[in-house]
Amino acid sequence: MRYSYQHTACRPPNPRCTIYSRGISQGEKDYIVWKHNYLRSLVAQGYERTNNQPPAANMMQMVWDEELATVAQKHADQCIFAHDCPECRSVEAFSVGQNIATRAKTGNTLPVPNWESTIQSLYDEVKDFYPKWISPFRAPKYPMTGHYTQALWATSWKVGCGYTIHSYSNDPRFQYVELYTCNYGPTGNLYMQDMYKIGPTCSQCPENTCCGRQCEMMGVRSDFDGLCSKVRASEEFQRNSSWRLRHDTLETMNSDSIKLNSDHWHHTYWICRYDLETPSSSHYNGSILHRKVKKIQGCSVAISKSY
């Protein structure tokens, strides 16, 4: 489905610029997610004392999203330091927010991407942001704080970024120009909505999320204090003896494995109905709650989406 005839994903690279380097390594992806979550955790726990930022009750832990990253990379390939239109970067699951940054460099040495300082510069707008604008969100246009508020928007829990080093034919003053683009979903900076819910950390986590010790008990990875971690739909236990299975394997009586197709967040997975042994044989294997299977009665395919 095309959401706009000018959708960024459909646009070829800008022919008016020369791209010397593009894309993001796996290590950079990991760092981008880590840096966002580190800063979100700082605010969520009430540790950001600049202007006395209050703690967040519903701050989500972010994960990398390849679809957002693909569109962000297409934006960076345009070599234009300007936001694309909201519908130009939308995806099926949600509307998408965006932060962009640029640096220009003289000399003949190719610059090295610096995601640490780039993301930190977005966050540093906190110096101009006041708690009275959090709930509901109504920050003024100036001074500029929209980069900070998007990066810290509680319900934006997916991020994907793109990067280019390029020259631009209309500006010969600089040998190299870097363009950083990060897309966020669902979008933040929604006027008169809550940037986040003010209250005790993790006290109002959304449905299908967990926090802290609760995540440990569910076998869900939670690396940052104060953040609500998404529980994959495929890990949820259905009490009517149907089971939503994990994406890797299912342990059965004959030790066969059932492989499931999943991209982790947009799930295509099997739901199978079983004859089960008595409840006393239930046990927890560290990842999913399951019972030993006597007989598989039949399976069907289900698709779910996380919004």
The Cα–Cα gap between 71 and 66 comes to 9
Q: What is the pLDDT of residue 50?
A: 98
CB 169 within 8 A of CB 191: no
Amino acid at 110: L
Cα dihedral sign, 263-267-270-275: positive
Burial string for 245-277 (b: 16+ CB within 10 Å, else e) reads bbbeebebeeeeeeebebeebebebbebbbebe
Which residues face 284 on adjacent strands? 289
Q: What is the pTM of this model?
A: 0.75
**Local confidence pLDDT in tens for the 307 residues of the chain:** 556 778 999 999 898 889 999 999 999 999 999 999 999 999 999 999 999 999 999 999 999 999 999 999 999 999 999 999 999 999 999 999 999 999 998 878 899 999 999 999 999 999 999 999 999 999 888 889 999 999 999 999 999 999 999 986 666 777 899 999 999 999 999 999 999 999 999 999 999 999 988 898 888 888 899 999 999 743 433 322 232 322 222 222 222 322 333 333 333 332 333 333 333 333 333 333 333 333 333 333 333 333 3
Any idea how long the chain is? 307
Confidence at residue 168, expressed as pLDDT on a 0 to 100 scale: 66
The Cα-based distances of 218 to 60, 83, 229, 277, 287 in angstroms read: 17, 40, 11, 22, 7
Distance from C-alpha of 285 to C-alpha of 290, rounded to nearest angstrom: 8
For residue 212, give the amino acid letter.
G
Cβ contact 193:136 at 8 Å: yes
